[in-house]
Amino acid sequence: MERIILTGDRPTGKLHLGHYVGSLQNRVKLQNEGGNKMFIMIADQQALTDNAKTPEKVQQSVVEVALDYLAVGLDPEQTTIFIQSQIPQLPELTLYYLNLVTVARLQRNPTVKSEIQEKGFNESIPAGFFMYPVSQVADITAFKATHVPVGDDQQPMIEQTREVARDFNRTYQQDVLVEPDIILPPKGQGRLVGIDGKGKMSKSLNNGIYLSDSADEIQKKVMSMYTDPNHIRVEDPGQVEGNVVFTYLDVFDDDKEKVQELKDHYRAGGLGDVKIKRYLNEVLQAKLKPIRERREAFAEDKDAVMAMLQAGSLKAEKVAAQTLDEVKDAMGINYFK
């Protein structure tokens, strides 16, 4: 049975290795394994919920995110890539769903609570941001997604989607909306720590390596990575746990025996930080060079990239329009049909 998969990203900058490990690799795998119908959304409306006064940041990022998608191997011939704001049915669905969700329920959403604290909104929470979980419900249900790949922190969002879909179908006594299942990242492919070791890789913390970074930028960032602050001399034993270089080697180096040898050597002493950083740089350069080169090739014709997004958005709109029509039928408000 074909699975319908809906996923996407907020366009607030270029995508980094955290995105690559946490979602992009898995999306390409899902695209290529067959039996999946993929919709990938560039969630510009969601990005505007906390960037409304700097819309140029979102506008400029739309094509950058699309370039990253293409560079890692997402194929618009196999996957529908679209822009959220170009699907007018989504905000209308959101409006209907808001009537089925209480303010108290939104306040209890752990993801929203965490992001409000992270962004420092305090009492000045934009209403659009506060209700964006319901907007996500519209995004997912509009395409009748059966499966949604997300990180662990987004599980409350999928549960809320299931609640709304279930409540809608029960309220209007019609089986219109689909309750999606969650797809979590494969083991070891969750959040990637930033190069400073202080938290997850993110643009706001300025601790990321981007898919578009040049070879020199990658090398500079790798050589600045957090290791073991107590590993002062080469001959000193070093700690592997919490050492960002080894965290990255575990993720990106396919030669696991080599990584284990390096760990044993580092723990015993006699292996310097510079040497392991140089080795990690070689590993990352080999991984990212083909991605960067594909990205540069696509970037030579950004008009073609935007045309791809327009075609994907038109295709996505037809699907969302059908769902909206069914929703309004169920609600009894298709008055002139």
3-state SS track over 36-104:
EEEEEEECHHHHHCCCCCCHHHHHHHHHHHHHHHHHHCCCCCCEEEEEHHHCCHHHHHHHHHHCCCCHH
Say which range, 7-21, 194-208, 308-322, has the weakest mean pLDDT. Answer: 194-208
Q: Tell me: the pLDDT tens digits for 59-69?
A: 999 999 999 99
* Better pLDDT: 128 or 289: 289
d(CA 221, CA 17): 12
**Residue 75 in tokens:** 């194929």
Residue 21 is given by DSSP the state: I
> For residue 16, which amino acid is it?
H
Characterise 34 by phi-psi region: left (phi > 0), alpha (psi -120 to 50), beta (else): left
- In the chain, where are the structural domains located? 3-191+301-331, 215-297
Indicate if the pLDDT at residue 188 is higher than 60: no
Rounded mean pLDDT, 135-150: 95
Percent of the residues in the chain that have a pLDDT greater than 90, as a whole number: 76
Q: Burial of 218 by CB count in 10 Å (0-12 exposed, 13-18 middle, 19+ buried)? A: buried
Indicate if the pLDDT at residue 204 is higher than 90: no
Indicate if the pLDDT at residue 141 is higher than 60: yes
d(CA 49, CA 303): 27
Q: How wide is the angle at C-alpha 290 spanned by C-alphas 218 and 295, nearest 5°? A: 85
**Residue 81 in tokens:** 């890539």
Q: Tell me: the pLDDT tens digits for 211-252?
A: 999 999 999 999 999 999 999 899 999 999 999 999 999 999
How high is the pLDDT of residue 125?
Answer: 79
How high is the pLDDT of residue 189?
Answer: 61
How high is the pLDDT of residue 77?
Answer: 96
The pair phi, psi for residue 209, each rounded to 5°, is -110, 125
How high is the pLDDT of residue 187?
Answer: 67
Please state, rounded to an integer, the average pLDDT across all residues of the chain. Answer: 92
249: nearest Cα among 238, 233, 260? 260
Q: pLDDT band for position 271 (50/70/90)? A: very high
Asked if residues 197 and 6 have their Cβ atoms less than 8 Å apart, the reply is no
Helix axes 256-268, 273-299, angle to 10 degrees: 150
Rounded mean pLDDT, 134-157: 91
Question: 40 in helix, strand or coil?
Answer: strand
Indicate if the pLDDT at residue 153 is higher than 80: no
Indicate if the pLDDT at residue 307 is higher than 60: yes
Residue ranges of the alpha helices (H) in the chain? 17-19, 25-32, 44-48, 55-72, 89-98, 103-108, 110-119, 127-130, 132-142, 155-172, 215-223, 244-252, 256-268, 273-299, 302-331
Query: Is-same-fold flag (3-191+301-331; 215-297)?
Result: no
Identify which of 122-136, 140-154, 279-293 has the greatest average pLDDT. Answer: 279-293
Q: Is domain 3-191+301-331 given the CATH code 3.20.20.300 in the classification?
A: no
Rounded mean pLDDT, 159-181: 96
The pair phi, psi for residue 117, each rounded to 5°, is -65, -45
Q: CB 11: neighbour CB atoms within 10 A?
A: 26
CATH of domain 215-297: 1.10.240.10
pTM of the model: 0.92
Q: Tell me: the pLDDT tens digits for 51-100?
A: 899 999 999 999 999 999 999 999 999 999 999 999 999 999 999 999 99
How high is the pLDDT of residue 121?
Answer: 75
Indicate if the pLDDT at residue 278 is higher than 80: yes
Q: pLDDT band for position 190 (50/70/90)? A: low
Strands (E) in 76-133, as ranges, are 79-83
